[in-house]
């Protein structure tokens, strides 16, 4: 058998420990599949003393993880530290500059610095791989970069954040409101003490920007992702959606908009209504799923565990096997210099059905005011539900679903109502995903 592929692992949290456990448990099988043994040479983490439940004694310990990039006895640096900048980025730059292959689960770093790192890796002949950065154990980076490589992809979307999906699908199952459900999720360890990245869609946006670049061959552009979280989704919205045949999901979607005659990139993360017959409607709990629409393949769906030490380790080691097998090709499917710089699309161009929910004071004329704004903005209403009076000070909810039409019209209708003292809160607008 060929020489071992020698690894240095930076970061020994749950994922780093999971990788070591995987390499130990499945080692013989991995060597056979990879054509050579995968051998950990050195590890690094903050606290050497901590008991991680795996035997670290066979490995060199590096107090300074940056030193691993300089070791002559290392072929691949595996970064599982996290953080978009700081030590992780320094390690990545140094490892790649030193001609080492680099594998990471760090979605924030790839979303912000992926282009720079890919360019450097292409220059030094290193592999840069990040399967674990998107959707945990689901091989969707590979699925788009290689499996669907024959296709022009027009749209890629999915459920990319397990915490947000756990909260929404729990609200759906229990009828509880957002705050209660978030608190419960925090208590159970499904949501972090500071849940901002998950519930505001930033984590999903990191992953989306990476997927979009691979799917479209466009330059990675995290800053262009329009992001809206789930904290404004009420139990009542989920009930209304259910009545209308939908569920609510935090959907991350990227699509190519040709309305201006040339390609522009629309990247959005926001709660959407998903028809119950759509595969994403059945994605519950911490599960992730990605849909890609190829011009020859048709709709492809990849689904699995979006996080967790086992699934993430599975993705990290799949990258290592690829490297051991001599995997070639650019990190983002085409060389980074060839990635197209696409302008940001006008979100108003997007057409489809929309759900709007207004919180209004319970008095005559409010419904007339709302429907007049819709008419003036040329928004055609398919169905409208006005709930009976609630207990909280005369607030009433009006929910409606529009016919197909451009988002710009919906935005205009909302704009027209912006000054109205009939509204007790800004309306919640959710796009409806096509089946």
Q: Give the contacts of 239 (CB within 8 A, at least 6 positions apart).
A: 175
By CB under 8 A, is residue 323 in contact with its own copies? no
By CB under 8 A, is residue 24 in contact with its own copies? no
By CB under 8 A, is residue 54 in contact with its own copies? no
Q: What is the rounded CA–CA span in Å between residue 387 and residue 393? A: 14
CA atoms within 13 A on the CB side of 353: 18
By CB under 8 A, is residue 279 in contact with its own copies? yes
CA dist 368 → 241, 371, 414 (Å) = 23, 5, 14
**What minimum distance in Å lies between the beta carbon of 380 and its own copies?**
30
Contact range with its own copies by CB under 8 A, out of 22-30, 161-169, 175-183, 223-231: 22-30
**What minimum distance in Å lies between the beta carbon of 301 and its own copies?**
4
Catalogue the long-range contacts made by 88-93 (C-beta closer than 8 Å, 24 or more residues apart). 88/10, 89/113, 90/66, 91/10, 91/65, 91/66, 92/117, 93/117, 93/120
> Of the candidates 68, 80, 92, 138, which one interacts with its own copies according to CB under 8 A?
138
Question: Residue 146 gets which letter from DSSP?
Answer: I
Q: Which is nearer to its own copies, 19 or 191 (CB)?
A: 19
Give the residue numbers annotated as catalytic, written as ranges. 207
> Of the candidates 102, 166, 302, 355, which one interacts with its own copies according to CB under 8 A?
302
Map the footprint of its own copies across residues 338-397, applying CB under 8 A.
Answer: 338
Q: Which is nearer to its own copies, 119 or 311 (CB)?
A: 311
Contact range with its own copies by CB under 8 A, out of 90-98, 238-246, 254-262, 310-318: 310-318
CA atoms within 13 A on the CB side of 299: 11
By CB under 8 A, is residue 329 in contact with its own copies? yes
Neighbours of 277 (CB within 10 A): 10
By CB under 8 A, is residue 318 in contact with its own copies? yes
Q: Which is nearer to its own copies, 310 or 352 (CB)?
A: 310
By CB under 8 A, is residue 258 in contact with its own copies? no
Q: Give the contacts of 49 (CB within 8 A, at least 6 positions apart).
A: none
Q: Which is nearer to its own copies, 415 or 435 (CB)?
A: 435
Chain center to CA of 88? 20
């Amino acid at each position: 058998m060929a020489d071992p592929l020698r690894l240095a692992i930076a970061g020994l949290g749950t994922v780093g420990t999971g990788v070591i456990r995987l390499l130990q448990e499945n080692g013989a099988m991995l060597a056979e599949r990879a054509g050579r043994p995968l051998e950990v040479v050195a590890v690094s983490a903050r606290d050497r003393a901590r008991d991680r439940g795996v035997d670290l004694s066979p490995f060199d310990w590096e107090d300074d993880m940056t030193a691993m990039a300089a070791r002559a006895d290392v072929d691949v640096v595996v970064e599982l530290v996290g953080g978009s900048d700081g030590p992780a980025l320094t390690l990545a730059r140094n490892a790649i500059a030193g001609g080492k292959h680099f594998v990471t689960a760090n979605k924030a770093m790839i979303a912000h610095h992926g282009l720079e790192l890919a360019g450097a890796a292409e220059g030094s002949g290193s592999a840069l791989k990040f399967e674990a950065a998107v959707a945990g154990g689901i091989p969707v980076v590979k699925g788009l970069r290689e499996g669907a490589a024959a296709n022009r992809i027009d749209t890629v979307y999915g459920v990319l954040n397990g915490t947000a999906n756990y909260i929404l699908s729990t609200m759906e199952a229990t009828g509880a409101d957002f705050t209660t459900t978030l608190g419960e999720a925090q208590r159970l360890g499904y949501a972090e003490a500071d849940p901002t990245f998950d519930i505001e869609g930033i984590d999903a946006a990191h992953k989306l920007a990476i997927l979009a670049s691979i799917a479209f061959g466009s330059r990675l552009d995290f800053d262009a992702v329009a992001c809206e979280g789930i904290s404004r989704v009420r139990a009542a919205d989920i009930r209304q959606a259910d009545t209308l045949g939908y569920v609510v999901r935090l959907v991350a979607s990227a699509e190519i908009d040709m309305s201006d005659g040339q390609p522009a990139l629309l990247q959005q993360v926001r709660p959407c209504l998903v028809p119950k017959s759509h595969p994403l409607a059945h994605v519950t709990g911490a599960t992730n799923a990605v849909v890609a629409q190829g011009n020859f393949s048709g709709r492809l769906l990849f689904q699995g565990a979006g996080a967790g030490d086992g699934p993430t380790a599975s993705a990290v080691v799949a990258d290592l096997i690829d490297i051991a097998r001599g995997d070639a090709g650019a990190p983002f499917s085409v060389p980074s210099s060839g990635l197209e710089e696409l302008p940001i699309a006008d979100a108003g161009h997007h057409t489809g059905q929309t759900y709007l929910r207004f919180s209004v004071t319970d008095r005559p004329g409010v419904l007339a005011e709302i429907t007049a704004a819709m008419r003036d903005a040329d928004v055609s209403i398919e169905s409208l539900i006005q709930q009976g009076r609630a207990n909280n000070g005369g607030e009433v909810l009006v929910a409606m679903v529009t016919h197909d039409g451009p988002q710009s019209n919906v935005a205009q209708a909302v704009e027209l109502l912006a000054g109205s003292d009939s509204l007790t809160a800004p309306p919640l607008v959710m796009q409806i995903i096509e089946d």
